[in-house]
Amino acid sequence: MSRNIGAIIVDTERCKGCGLCVEACPKGILTLATKKVNKKGYPYAVQTDEQQKCNGCASCGIVCPDGCISVYRVKEE
């Protein structure tokens, strides 16, 4: 039996670390990087734990003001 899960792709160089995606995620799997920054000096959004599964709702991508988050739905076997 397969189910759909989400795959989150963040364009880290465009992310300005506003944190709106972190607040919008119903699963709580996004956070801002604590030890890394992009070339502009902003911490960027990252998935906190690969074991926690994104449900593909795309709430993070919808609220991102810079459009730097893409969410894809994939089948998990």
What's 52's domain CATH number?
Answer: 3.30.70.20
Q: What is the reported pLDDT for 52?
A: 73
Q: Which domain holds residue 20?
A: 3-76
Nearest Cα to Cα of residue 65 among 7, 23, 4: 23
Mean predicted confidence (pLDDT) in 11-15 = 95
Q: What is the reported pLDDT for 42?
A: 95
What single-letter amino acid sits at 15?
C
Q: Check pLDDT > 90 for residue 4.
A: no
Whole-angstrom distance, CA of residue 60 vs CA of residue 57: 8
| Rg, Å, the chain Cα set | 12
Q: What is the reported pLDDT for 74?
A: 81
**27-66 residue pLDDT tens:** 999 999 999 999 999 999 999 876 678 889 999 999 999 9
Domain count, the chain: 1
Within 8 A by CB and 6+ apart from 57, the residues are 6, 26, 71
Strand partners, 32: 45
Nearest Cα to Cα of residue 54 among 33, 73, 77, 40: 73
pTM of the model: 0.84
